[in-house]
Structure 1
Amino acid sequence: MTYAQERAALLARNMPFGPDRRAALSDAADGWLIELLRAASGGDDSGLALVAIGGYGRREMVAGSDLDVLLLHARKRGLAEVADAVWYPIWDAGVKLDHSVRTVAEARAVAGEDLKALLGMLDMRHVAGDVGLTEQLRSTVLADWRSAATKRLPELRESAQERDRSNGELAFLLEPDLKESRGGLRDLVTLRAVQASWVADVPHSRIGPAHDRLLDVRDALHTVTGRSTDRLVLQEQENVASALGLLDAIALMRSLAEVGRTIAYASDITWRRVDQVLETRTRRFRIRGTAGKPAPRTPLADGVVQSEGEAVLARDADPARDPILVLRAAAAAAQAGIPLSPGTVDRLAASAKRLPEPWPDAAREELVRLLGAGRPAVAVWEALDLAGVMTTLIPDWARVSCRPQRNAVHRFTVDRHLVEAAANAAALTRRVARPDLLLVGCLLHDIGKGWPGDHSVVGATIVRDLAPRLGFSEADVEVLAMLVTHHLLLPDVATRRDLDDPKTIEAVANAVGTVENLDLLHALTEADALATGEAAWTPWRVNLIDTLVERARAALSGTPVPISSPLTDDQRALARDGAIDVHIGGAESGDSGTIVTVVSPDRLGLLATVAGVFGVHRLGVRSAVTETIDSAAVTVWTVQPDFGAPPDAAVLRGDIVRALDGSLDVSARLARREQAQVQKPGIAVPPPSVHVVADASDTATVLEVRAHDRPGLLHRVGRALSAAEVDIRSAKVSTWGAEAVDVFYVVDPVTGRALDEARAEAVRKSVLDALD
């Protein structure tokens, strides 16, 4: 049986994914190469050796692995014939091969110059032939690596950091690269190289199970796709989860998040140790006689000291007798801007237990101190969370731990997002009367995402149970519940409602109740958005939210609410009977988008026509407001290019004028573009929804449209509204990832008032039909 046949038989045997399967695939390859070298050398393999390197050398063969083989030699004659006799049968069998032919000196020289080649050779394993050659190369490469470690380890670290910058973090990506992402297989190779340098030890107990799990996922991915890919794309995640016996893709990605975070944390520990050793070596070289002196220990808190740049427990500290010590140590480390030592994390984890309920005031204060440290709190929390401490202290945390968000808007898992939000809030505590409520509110605002249902409503229920256990008073519990319930209120209202409508301001003021609560919610909104991603906190959204908060504060304070016309005096002055005019840019243009002011005789379908031109030019619409002055309509748009630079202003202006005078068929242009846009296979798009928002306005009917974003979506909706013979007073347009949420304030064109219930329902159905 050939290797290809034996390999196929092994894969068809449906062996469980794991070390035994990988070892069997490696053994099959070994047996074949032994036979090939024996045949090629005529039985005389002196001066010849086949060496497995890289993943094959580590016996990590999976379904799509290639053979990474070095033919090592000490011969001058007949070498080419031997090499051909080994390589050609492999190629003929269709097996992927990464090969090289070198002497020991040549291989040593390559390892000295090429870091990637060196990493592969550090994992070399003798397969066939002269074992002495393999041992000679192994010993020289290891000796060279160890002697040059002080110089080459920084090079290795820079290579790892560049890879991280290019490939993102495995734990938090929608479609991670199992090999190249931070926390992936390449980081494990790097850790093996550090271990081999003898400069620093690697926390093996933390990464062993993570390593095996990551290889299992890679093997399953190769098996279900039939390709040697390392990118775990969305459409394959359910299949891979099924192959591994997991419940669904969420369970798979949750498992990968834990694996990626474990490996990334082990990398951080290892590189910190490397830095300490290299710094000590440099210091001893510069200052003679310092060797053997103990590192100074500086007190940080009761039972916690600083030593060699880490927070450690004092010699007489006993976490078993002092249950608050874990929070005190965490807060002290974060406030000092240093990590907890791995040994301290292990000691705290071994003794961690649930605190008395309600928590003592000192425990709650240490939690707030930890969160209030800002950015350093993230690493401290992460270390304790991976060790299981946080789920012991706060059992509700288990439901969100490593839970993926499964959308392109969020850049972190739920638990990491919450910690990031709290870290962001630390910089905003001067803006609120109760910093403790802000910090804890940020930590818990998405706690409901671990349960079915509306996470804001579920989260408030959880907080009403959890916050008293943390020692908060009844009044404080209600404030925290309000923050969780309404943590999306400000961005939702600001981007989807008319801020000049008194009903909008009244609704927000009633929801928050007090100016102090409004300030808390405003700060939480900013911290949450910054933790979500760049798209959640753009200048455009900031301006809208600030305006909403200013007006809600006035309403709560009993002062006149500042209401302004949606148009500036200059924009109103542009209106004149019978003229079509387009102005691009202005003082309002900037990072939030380009302002386009369109003046035209008032008519139904105006918004749809102009929106269609923007769609043709790949301009995303952020907002649109309209005011009718005499017989002219002035519509002010805020637009941004989907990608690249905005189109030429003269071309855009010309197309808008042509579309308004009927010489440009916008619908036909958009239809051709939509037909050319190919949707990714295997991605289910939920159906669009359209509903009438009750009680959102006393002067207009509010329609909210939710749909998968696509070219011409706003044009399609606008045409349906014009066909229904209603006027669009204003539009709020938002895009979150691939989802559009568009809100339209519509009125009867004759009366200028909101539609009656029957007509509003008819308009809703017309828009939905147009989208279907």
Structure 2
Amino acid sequence: MDPAGERVTESVEAQGHSYAAARLRLLTEEAQSGPPRRAALARLTDQWLADLAADAARATGAGGWALLAVGGYGRGELSPRSDLDLVLLHEPGDAKGSVSALADRLWYPVWDLGLALDHSVRTPAEARKTAADDLKVQLGLLDARHLAGDAAMTAGLRSAVLADWRNQAPQRLPALHELCTERAERQGELSYLLEPDLKEARGGLRDATTLRAVAASWLADAPREGLEEARTRLLDARDALHLVTGRATDRLALQEQDQVAAALGLLDADTLLRQVYEAARRIAYASDVTWREVDRVLRSRAARPRRRGLLGRGRTAGAAPPPERVPLAEGVVEQEGEAVLALAAKPDRDPVLPLRAAAAAAQAGLPLSLHAVRRLAAAARPLPVPWPAEAREQLVTLLGAGESTVPVWEALEAEGLVTRLIPDWERVRCRPQRNAVHRFTVDRHLVEAAVQAAGLTRRVHRPDLLLTAALLHDIGKGWPGDHSEAGEVIARDVAARIGFGPADVDTLALLVRHHLLLIDTATRRDLDDPETIRTVAETVRDTSTLELLAALTEADALATGPAAWSTWRASLLADLVGRVAGALDTGALPESADSEPTAEEERLAIEAARTGGPVLALHAYTEEEAEGEARQQALGVELLLAVPDRPHLVARAAGVLALHRLTVRAADLRAFDPIGEGPVALLSWRVSAEYGALPEAARLRADLARAFDGSLDIEARLAEREAAYPRRRGITPPPPRVTVAPGHTSQTATVLEVRAHDAPGLLHRIGLALASTSVTVRSARISTLGSNAVDAFYVVGKDGNPLPDARAAEVARQVEAALR
């Protein structure tokens, strides 16, 4: 080697040694970490590579070149073991091989220091073409940063790549979204993994980078609040992981979490995971919101040309018509695929609005818009304690929506509304579960348990208690000691806070305290031992609580993970529940026909008997008037209706209420003869208006009269209304279930129990189905618990007696088939 070459080699080696020493000092300085260290490491590397490139260019005589940092290095973020992502640009043609020689003098010193290197050598045209063919290359070039050489060449490529990205965004962004979805399916959700990949899992660093790319397209932008802080937290965790392991890894393994936590100055591994999970949730939520906005913009652009041919007079060519707003609930509408607040909604005057909006969105299978959630978080007044009945009802409705509950709950949680509603939630939020059987954090497990419980509501008489118990059963895991014992105390407080009555508070506390009783007993005790059955029976007290506990046990296991539930476990649980049920005394359902009418009810019945027409009265309910069992229903208006008994009475009356957008929360039906001239049916309905305003009594009475005389076509009117406001999305609820209650429930009638998803006109359809079987409804108990209708109909045959067993079973099958 000639002396000049030797001097260059010595200079390169000296520069490498100097860089390596400075790098080591930087990485071992405890005083400097996080963003300052990453930026300092990037600056140090920039200077080394720039000097290296300048020496190499002088030695090779290369001209017309530029060295670029791309990817994470391009963003000026270097973790201790990050790759150096470099692109060497050059002008077309390299007859003398100077660019190749330049590249060798750049890459080999990097390799000699043992640094990971991802490199390429291209002309600007080649770089642009490669980016057009390879989405990942294009994403990397969006973060290109000049290091050395011809700065104008770098600027030209950056401008061209950015312009290409914006021009191609309508095609590129759907492909990018598909890549993100596939990656999430492979890697899982960072915020729930015990050993998460900080980069590739959903909500990780790769998704944060993707949001930058979407913003660069100018089509949509991510919600920025807290996003940079979340990304920084994940980068800090990855830095500490690199230093602890000495490897370029993104996998936060269990055995390294305590060391990583210590390196970050955190208390323990659980604290580390909780911070990582919080950051991942912020990024994942921002991603969901952003991709919805991208989809909305692209759909709007695709529809615009078709609108031009349909423009009305006075509309600007190409302008989109105002977006359709379909009512969902009072103060909540659907617009462009999201649940948003109505223009007239007043969050500062309506403390129930956050829960009503969430319930309406989940029931419709829609996301709750970011703007709506933030407006609710900023303006909504706190709920009074105890909650009004409507608030409790809306919470149960939200929990009963099944899978669509999860994204709506996440939206509420992202803006702090969940902990505002249930302060005890803060202790379980993002709390990891160090048990391989569990798929989720404690808080997500509780929500998943409610999702699973929503599919089991047909098995129980009180789905509202089942759903609430599912949400609270592990709430004690945020406290020291036995989580079931701590949870019992918390559940009792929360249940009272949200407005359950004393008896229901006791039941919820029992369910939380003993949510492991059945599965532990079924799998660990001798079921042939009478003492085993006696102990369980004494704990659960009655069959109603037993059925709740059995459904909660299954929902808990299904939400935990595949290892927690199996056919074998299900059979053991069913065996235990059957034995305990046999050992318990079952109570009879009260029959309203045996109760004496009030003075007002008797007055209305007498007037109806004399006039032959419907007579009604409306009474508003207040919180003070609702006591005992009545507190389980939404408060609103009680409608008393007296009418001479006739066929199809329940169906027609319920149909009129549905036409007037009145939701039946509870109802009693009784019949008696007030003046000896024939029976009068007395219907006591507790109703609430679907969108706030109640109908005029005179108009309601007129429609009832038309329904009873046959001049009002209820089915056609309901069909017209459904067509005017089609539900394009929504949950898929469990199928309806109609069963015959045990014979001892009533001595004078057959009791049919109907459990179904509540919907406009449901009671009307039940009434029609019963009428089609030629049975007579003697009395009824109607209740709506969240999104579930739980109704009991006392029916008799043409002879006025209870139905024979075979006939009763056939009627139940016919009604269930009609409802399906």
Number of the residue aligned with 2:558: 530
Correspondence for 1:688: none
Distance 1:458 1:481 in 2: 10
Whether the 8 Å contact between 1:352 and 1:389 is mirrored in structure 2 is no
Q: Secondary structure at the match of 2:225?
A: helix
Which residue is 2:574 aligned to?
Answer: 546
Structure 1 stretches of 4+ moved >3 Å: 43-46
Q: Report matched runs for 1:386-401 at 5 Å.
A: 386-401=414-429
* Amino acid in the other structure paired with 1:327: L
Contact 2:522 2:576 in 1 (8 A): yes
The AA in structure 2 aligned to 1:127 is L
- Specify which of 154, 161, 172 is matched with residue 134 of structure 1: 154
Which residue matches 2:476? 448
2:227 corresponds, among 207, 212, 218, to 207
TM-score (normalised: structure 1): 0.71
Question: What is the 5 A alignment of 1:585-600?
Answer: none
Q: Contact 1:298–1:307 (CA<8 Å) still a contact in 2?
A: yes
- Equivalent residue number for residue 222 of structure 1: 242
Q: C-alpha separation between the residues in 1 aligned to 2:133 and 2:530?
A: 70
Q: Indicate the larger mover: 253-262 or 442-451.
A: 253-262
**Cα deviation 1:236-258 (Å, max 9, x = unaligned):** 11111111111111111111111
Percent identity (aligned)? 62
1:351 deviates by 2.6
Q: Equivalent residue of 1:232, what SS?
A: coil
Cα distance in 2 for residues equivalent to 1:558 and 1:104: 82
The alignment status of 1:66 with 2:94, answered yes or no, reads no
> Which residue in the other structure is 1:516 paired with?
544
CA distance in 1, matches of 2:300, 2:63: 46
1:232 alignment partner, one of 239, 249, 252: 252
The one-letter amino acid paired with 1:114 is: D
Q: 1:24 to 1:45 in 2, by over 3 A?
A: farther
Contact 1:15–1:21 (CA<8 Å) still a contact in 2?
A: no
2:236 and 2:550 map into 1 onto residues whose CA distance is 45
Give the letter aligned to residue 23 of structure 1.
A
Which amino acid in 2 is paired with 1:263?
I
- Where relative contact order (Cα < 8 A, 6+ residues apart) is larger, the structure is 2
1:49 aligns with 2:77: no
2:120 aligned partner: 100
| Rounded Cα–Cα distance in structure 2 between residues aligned with 1:17 and 1:406 | 29
Maintained 8 Å contact 2:353/2:380: no
Match of 2:348 in 1: 320
1:378 is aligned with what amino acid?
V
> Alpha carbon RMSD of aligned pairs, Å?
1.6
**SS of corresponding position for 2:216:** helix
> Which structure has the larger Rg?
2
1:664 maps to which residue? Answer: none
1:292 CA drift (Å) = 2.7
Residue 152 of structure 1: how far off its partner (Å): 2.1
Q: What amino acid is the match of 1:136?
A: G
More divergent stretch after superposition (393-402 vs 131-140): 131-140
Measure, in 2, the Cα distance between the counterparts of 1:369 and 1:46.
70
Cα deviation code 1:736-765 (max 9, x no counterpart): xxxxxxxxxxxxxxxxxxxxxxxxxxxxxx
| CA separation of 1:145 and 1:347: change in aligned 2, threshold 3 A | same
2:47 corresponds in structure 1 to 31
Aligned twin of 1:291: 319
Cα offset, 1:276, TM superposition: 1.0
Question: Using the alignment, how far apart are the partners of 2:276 and 2:460 within structure 1?
Answer: 38
Identify the range of structure 1 (283-292 vs 22-31) with the bigger mean alpha-carbon deviation.
283-292
Note the C-alpha offset of 1:92. 1.8
Code of the residue aligned with 2:251 in structure 1: it is R
Contact 2:543 2:586 in 1 (8 A): no
Q: How does 1:148-297 map to 2 (within 5 A)?
A: 148-288=168-308, 289=311, 291-297=319-325
C-alpha displacement of 1:17: 2.7
Tell me which residue corresponds to 1:418: 446
Q: Which moved more, 1:394-403 or 1:10-19?
A: 10-19
Query: Who is 2:749 aligned against?
Result: none
Encode CA deviations 1:432-487: one digit per residue, 9 max, x unaligned: 11111111111100000000011001100111222111111111011001100111
Residue 324 of structure 1: CA displacement? 1.3
For 2:511 and 2:570, the matched residues in 1 are separated by 19
TM-score where L is the length of structure 2: 0.67
| Residue in 2 that maps onto 1:22 | 38
Helix, strand or coil for the counterpart of 1:528? helix
> Does residue 1:124 correspond to 2:141, yes or no?
no
Shift of 1:307: 1.0
The answer to whether the 8 A contact 1:206-1:266 is kept is: no
Residue 556 (structure 1) shift: 1.2
SS across alignment from 2:340: strand
The aligned amino acid for 1:61 is L
Once residues 16 and 253 of structure 1 are traced to their aligned partners in structure 2, the CA distance between those partners, rounded to angstroms, is 23
Q: Which runs of 5+ in 1 are unaligned?
A: 560-772
C-alpha separation in 2, matches of 1:59 and 1:467: 51
- Matched to 2:222, the amino acid is V
Kept after mapping to 1: 8 A contact 2:191/2:203 = yes
Measure how far apart 1:315 and its partner are: 1.8
Check if 1:482 corresponds to 2:510. yes
Q: Distance in 2 between matches of 1:558 and 1:499?
A: 21
Q: Which deviations, in whole Å up to 9, do the C-alpha atoms of 1:317-346 show, x marking residues without a partner?
A: 221222111111111111111111101111
- Contact 2:62 / 2:99 at 8 angstroms: preserved in 1? no
Q: How many residue pairs were aligned?
A: 559
CA offsets 1:279-334 (integer angstroms, 9 cap, x no match): 12222234435633111111211211111111111222221222111111111111
**Distance (Å, rounded) in 2 between the aligned partners of 1:344 and 1:4:** 52
SS at match of 1:312: strand
**Gap regions ≥5 residues in structure 2:** 1-14, 312-317, 588-820
Q: Shift of the alpha carbon at 1:353?
A: 5.0
- Give distance in 2, aligned partners of 1:259 and 1:555: 51
Distance 2:457 2:107 in 1: 67
Question: Match for 1:7 among 20, 23, 30?
Answer: 23
Q: Provide, for residues 27-47 of structure 1, a one-character-per-residue CA deviation record: whole Å limited to 9, x for no partner.
A: 011101110111111197741
Contact between 1:178 and 1:218, CA under 8 Å: does it hold in 2? yes
